[in-house]
Amino acid sequence: MAECRKVPDYEIVNIVSKGAFPFEVSLSKLYSDNPRCCSYDKKRFPAARLQVENVKGKLMVFSTGKFVVMGVVSRHETSSLLAVCGPMVRECST
């Protein structure tokens, strides 16, 4: 069995989380309703990206309702981003 060695000091610089909303999402509507904080180009990538001022991280939302949170360094930041973006996404459910 391999010997465990002490891990040197480290720093968390990015946490990626995934999940799913319990509904499908109209990405075109999400983009048109939130043009200041949403980017979406279905020809380049099949998800809309939300990034809100004063909230760390980005939320990628797929039409299936699945999502990926990136650019955060704690669960609290993940929760804050979902608390702000979740209602915007729900308004665009299909």
For residue 5, pLDDT over 80 is answered with no
Question: What is the pLDDT confidence band of residue 2, given thresholds at 50, 70 and 90?
Answer: low
Instruction: Report the pLDDT value the prediction gives residue 94, as an integer from 0 to 100.
Output: 92
34-45 core/surface letters (b: 16 or more CB in 10 A; e: else): beebbebeeeee
> Which structural domains are found in the chain, ordered by start?
15-90 (3.30.310.10)
Instruction: Report the pLDDT value the prediction gives residue 11, as an integer from 0 to 100.
Output: 84
Taking only the tens place, the pLDDT of each residue in 28-73 is: 999 999 999 999 999 999 999 999 999 999 999 999 999 999 999 9
Question: What is the pLDDT confidence band of residue 10, given thresholds at 50, 70 and 90?
Answer: confident
Residue whose pair of structure tokens reads 């004063």 in the numeric block: 54
Distance CA 36, CA 56 (A): 16
pTM recorded for the entire structure: 0.86
